[in-house]
Structure 1
């Protein structure tokens, strides 16, 4: 989750290990709650990790290799006659908090559902191959993941006596897309799906992401994105003059003296710092506190208040103050903005590597399936300096994937799943207006059986989190609406 913005820097990889990015997911990376990764206890319920045997390559009958995929079960609310809920994992470790808390468990309690969560191949502890080499990553795709889900659902139903049960898929961000596509491709296995904050259209270039960031900042303070733009523009100009590098190093507490040798170097600096605003907008007031995540009180309002505080200095100084706040909040001693360091870590193929938590895997999926590159190619957004070629070049640098291959792969994804023309039934698409990902999602009903739930003023996956007394009324209504749809669909 991500989905996660989806192209990630070294700073963001470190930061997002502490943040939660939906179930994923993030599409982007997600963090962990401080739960033991083997066992979770809640109200007398013990959740132990379990393992399911999957084929390495579902599309090659001659390949007999198998591996173990991690999953979890919560039968606390299960009643005879109830449905089966399947939470789909995404681009990060399975987050066990979702097995004891979250809106889907509220639904499960009311409907007597058995709850399962399946971790996505190549993420968390689900390691199909010995390493993350590009050769092995060819077995990482949404299509292989859907086959994993289909096989898991079939075998579990047969072995546990659940064949006649109605199965409902849940997911947020990239797993939200998987939930929709699971219902689309396997309607005989999945009765209904809740596809939260799900981008269903793949796009190489996704400048609309930053356009929503502009509007979301402006919704808090009309001049906020203008101040951010002034600061960003100032930084762009200073990066052109080597005489300013010492000051920039000090201003942003960089880990080493700033050195820019290529356009990739400067773009990486600019994207890393813009990421402070992008991440906060995407997860604004999303109630990650239930995961025990620190620093989740950093909201759009907090950032815009800093940007509006003239006592700090000009907008550039305030921009640096935002970076300082983020680093202090997440106990980061300094900021590494070296693209060469980023490339070194992203090309480390070990499961113990610094990007093995999800960064190397997810960027590979963007290069081979989705794109989703949040470029600065639109004039209607506050940043500059990381255009589409910067993102595309990372595919070549990390995996030797050409721009032509990328473009063709994204087109194939839309052809395979249908993009906005998805043709199915009993899928609901909740999205938040603050969340930049809604620009690639469903915000208007496609048909009576493919309804959208567009929630004004909420961010990424907000409806999935546990309810709070301070939730806006429209968020509570959205949760209720999804429940009523499930109630209705389970009777069909």
Structure 2
């Protein structure tokens, strides 16, 4: 076994140790939600999945709600006792809940993912779901509590949801903890690539230069038939590039190459991978040229468990994304996220940031064309820009956050940091921005026994102090609490059907 295989297997072993547990305290249930929260004449409903963990609840009237985002929810979110959220729940006696986002995971309003169905996949519909959930749980679980106290937790997109919900519903929540919350919608998010380059140069400048030369060689290979044939062999393509080449196929391939580096650096020093220098040692070992990119590619596939041949056909990719079924469809979450990107959020990770170590490999046109190809020609650049402008107008972005009791935490190495609230501190409203030096995307949410950074200790102390303050300021009497609920083991959560 070579050095690369040994290192990667060690990473995977660490990951499997973290995720192999079963979480007996976590219960799964469903709540009936309206398909259209804003049309009183539309009585249609769907079942939204949520999970609960009452292991540490001590009749405090305190609840931690972890918001689901662009993927289905899992028990580990509120079941892993090494999760920072669970550690806080144990200290403060909080009930824990995790609510799945509509159109992701098992929370499907319709039997398909058609454009007609996606009319109801919006940020505002999701925020209304959260409100309905809290109101419902106040009635059926906290019925004896004068004023239940909810703290929201969200990461990345769901972090933005947590911030926006707190801003709009301060009567229902006492605080929001926003991890890498991407509150600044942006059509052309070339800062992602710029930030990737910054991290590489900051952590390992020779590695960054090696990647630049390797990417230059890779892109040059796409210009000739012999070069494309070589790429087909090196990158284990299911079929070689067609000749003459289709430009979309080349862009699709290069976009996937860029996503490999994005995936590694996004999680470096955090939940999935060690630091960037460790990553560089993995890919540069005993090779050069395009072999470095291939090393990154195959290690990425193994770590992220997607070891199959690569189909370079953009048309086949579109066919996968155009599948409107969702049962056993691995592309369902990606399709739903693409819809949100094309209609409200943007966040297309291009290389339009000028001179870059990754070259000018991925254009905005590639993503805009994908919006039109997957959904409809009406979802063109103007439509995408209008949607993003409306999101910023509605929620304000990072320059106009009006909420209170909110903590925005971001890693200094997070490629998404340019969309986060890095300078939102306003002590008069108890709003704080905290940057974890050396941290990446959602590093603060990682299990506390997972590749810890020294700066995380400072943040966790800070977070604990602020949560204690938020709880103290919101203290309410719970004398009317029904004594029959005093036994934690007898607590049940009623669904909407009960």
Contact 1:443 1:454 in 2 (8 A): yes
What RMSD in Å do the two structures reach over aligned CA positions?
Answer: 2.0
Match for residue 364 of structure 1?
Answer: 339
Match of 1:11 in 2: none
Aligned mate of 1:93, from 72, 76, 80? 72
Matches of 1:422 and 1:41 in 2, distance apart? 36
Give the SS at the match of 2:254: helix
Which has the larger displacement, 180-189 or 74-83? Answer: 74-83
Counterparts of 1:32-111 in structure 2, within 5 Å, are 33=19, 40-42=22-24, 45=25, 47-101=26-80, 102-111=83-92
**Runs of at least 4 residues off by over 4 Å:** 32-35, 306-309
Residue 370 of structure 2 is matched in structure 1 by: 394
Kindly state the Cα deviation for residue 60 of structure 1 after the two structures are TM-superposed.
Answer: 1.3
Corresponding residue SS for 1:204: strand
1:8: which partner in 2? Answer: none
CA distance in 2, matches of 1:50, 1:477: 36
| Segment of structure 1 superposing worse, 240-249 or 469-478 | 469-478
In 2: Cα distance, 1:446 partner to 1:368 partner: 30
Change (3 A) 1:53 1:453: same
Displacement, 1:430?
0.5
CA distance in 1: counterparts of 2:29 and 2:42, whole angstroms:
24
Residue of structure 1 equivalent to 2:454: 473
Q: Contact between 1:395 and 1:402, CA under 8 Å: does it hold in 2?
A: yes
Q: Please list the CA deviations of residues 178-233 of structure 1 after superposition, one character each: whole Å capped at 9, or x if unmatched.
A: 11011011111111100110011100011111111001112221122222122112
Distance 1:285 1:96 in 2: 23
Matches within 5 A, 1:430-441: 430-441=409-420
Give the corresponding residue for 1:207.
190
User: Does structure 2 retain, via aligned residues, the 8 Å contact 1:307–1:315?
Assistant: no
- How far 1:307 moved relative to its partner? 5.0
Tell me the distance in 1 between the aligned counterparts of 2:331 and 2:146.
Answer: 36
| Residue in 2 that maps onto 1:6 | none
Structure 1 residues 354 and 337, CA gap change in structure 2 (3 angstroms): farther
Q: Does 1:323 align with 2:297?
A: yes
1:300 aligned to 2:300? no
Partner of 1:269: 253
| Mapping of residues 416-455 of structure 1, within 5 Å | 416-420=394-398, 421-448=400-427, 449-455=430-436
1:12-31 counterparts in 2 under 5 A? none
Distance 2:53 2:226 in 1: 59
Matched, 1:125 2:109: no
Q: Could you report, residue by residue, the CA deviation over 1:341-380 in whole angstroms, capped at 9, with x for unpaired residues? A: 1100000000126344411000110001100011100125
* Per-residue deviation, 1:62: 1.5
Pick aligned residue for 2:348 from 354, 359, 373: 373
- Deviations for 1:319-359, whole angstroms, at most 9, x for unmatched residues? 22222333344361422222111100000000126344411
- Which of 357, 380, 384 is equivalent to 1:382? 357
User: Is 1:482 the equivalent of 2:426?
Assistant: no
Deviates more, 1:277-286 or 1:238-247: 238-247
The structure having more radius of gyration, on CA atoms, is: 2
**Secondary structure, in 3 states, of the residue corresponding to 2:96?**
strand
Q: Is the 8 A contact 1:453 1:478 kept in 2?
A: yes
Distance 2:457 2:407 in 1: 16
Distance 1:369 1:33, change over 3 A: farther
8 Å contact from structure 1 (residues 267, 385) kept in 2 = yes
Cα distance 1:153–1:405, how it changes in 2: closer, same or farther (>3 A)? same
Whether the 8 Å contact between 1:58 and 1:147 is mirrored in structure 2 is yes
- Tell me by how many angstroms 1:483 deviates: 1.5
Provide Cα deviations, 1:217-270, integer angstroms capped at 9, x if missing partner: 122211222221221122212111122222111111111112264322111111
Query: Displacement of 1:163 after TM fit?
Result: 5.3
Q: Which runs of 5+ in 1 are unaligned?
A: 1-17, 20-31, 289-295
TM-score (norm 2): 0.85
Q: Distance in 1 between matches of 2:200 and 2:188?
A: 22
Q: In structure 2, the residue corresponding to 1:223 is in which secondary structure?
A: helix
Answer whether contact 1:92 1:357 (CA < 8 A) is retained. Answer: no
Matched residues in 1 for 2:181 and 2:47: separation?
Answer: 27
Is this contact kept in 1: 2:65–2:96, CA < 8 A?
yes
Aligned partner of residue 87 in structure 1, secondary structure: strand
The C-alpha deviation readout for 1:80-113, integer Å capped at 9, x for no partner, is 2241111101111102101212101111111111
Q: Normalising to structure 1: TM-score of the pair?
A: 0.87
Larger mean CA deviation between 331-340 and 211-220 belongs to: 331-340
- How far 1:272 moved relative to its partner? 0.6
Distance change (3 Å), C-alpha of 1:72 and 1:231: same
Shift of 1:398: 0.7
Greater mean alpha carbon deviation, residues 375-384 or residues 72-81: 375-384
* Secondary structure, aligned partner of 1:183: helix
- Matches of 2:224 and 2:450, distance apart in 1: 51
